Structure 1
């Protein structure tokens, strides 16, 4: 029997970058894309089983990690114990300066400093720093829940000459005017989204991969990195990534070094390390490590061995999921 439409949660409102990432990630599936007002609501929907998947921003190539996502993955109160990562999607992010339609018919030069307040998601400020420093130095900045929300506020507010940083998709959706496009500092500005699912409520049937539960209809991966390996150097063979969180006894000398050496001993390449406060004791942290596994048979159980060894030296440890590396994979068709 065919499955009913997938329910895919994303950080709303509609026309956010998360909406765009969800639409592109699941464009080869019959899916209902459902906006959620916060990161926590999207996580909770997956935990409850109300959503089959959630598409959540994790990091940006210009501005770094999304701390709201890290805090939810830290799961200090065990609210999302069944939520794991099963995939990733890279979205090239282009920002626009948007205003209420018709308010500046002469374009960017005609605004003449009259924009007194700007709205956007906190991540976008750092991605457009050079543009903002040139045109809007000293202008008040208001954080909002998403770039699309900023565009919506500007479109509806007739009492204030505000502007927002948002996508062209959001501007068109809310009926904004666009004063400037591609205002991001770097043309390769990219956000990586994690695709989450509930490990306890998996449905079986056509379209589901039984061992990793990675849906094979996810979109093709992002283009390969711009710089190719030097002549004579082999291509990277890493095909899977795993995200692990752990905490250590900070008073024990060498505790962090001992934990990290476990990954080296198992032949796992650490591709990123992040920290968030544990909130149990001041200046104590939860560590997040992302590691790559090569596809050779001898490394097949490397992650399991590393997790077992890590539990011997860490105060706590959690496997947050394994998925196909989209930067190194050619396609998800054969997952």
Structure 2
């Protein structure tokens, strides 16, 4: 079955490549970013986050993304009070296809298949497969004078995860999501995504309350953030100072189970920021992470294909979530990035 799938996939790629050979040139980008995080007040959150992303469009319809993220503490984590264990490694690969419009409609159809491995370096390792398809109704959304949609897609998703190291178990997740992006006045953009999903647990993936464990759970999640970007000063033709901002819910999530012990994969996969609140005071019955992240960035375009950036930013967010949300702290952040387009 696996060999048959690979043959079909290779055949589709070759056919697509022949069809678009005359007017398409494969292209892509390679980006590397190194981010450093400081402490959040009394909370020990100091950590380092290198990230590498390779995007390659090998036909007009097919693209491949390879990404690796590594996060580690910049201190000796002892599981003491007000400490956050950031030990994490997450390589993933995503194959995407743009199917074009659906039949005689204006609905844009796309699909993707992602495989990710998550290691927390505590004798725990999980692998996830995320299959997603999206139907974008953007062309049917009226365009206002001040507000215009740039995405309005219904996207079913399916996630299968299993333990590849440590206690055995697996999880199935069925998701129905609405993915929207909006262009606002004064160069503001707004993302508002909603997710309804149900999970079925087995073994190490089960969630528990004080007196019982659950085989299933239902969730409702919102991811919503406002973004802004403006060039403040142009030093020369190659160098500029830019102000960026992002802020909002990351995420708001509620569940029919007052239980803890498991973070839904889809939450971490879709959220904006890399670091969760430091302390989980309970469960996902009804909770949220709320953040604001202003940034100053110096961008240097060495050539048309190569650019460098240095940035400094500060995150303001709640460090406790679960039964309550509290301890709003500032966390200094900074880093450097390089992007090569080919």
Q: TM-score range by the shorter chain?
A: under 0.3
**TM-score under structure 1 normalisation?**
0.20
Task: Select the structure that is richer in helix.
Answer: 1
TM-score with structure 2 setting the length: 0.20
Q: Which has the higher strand share?
A: 2
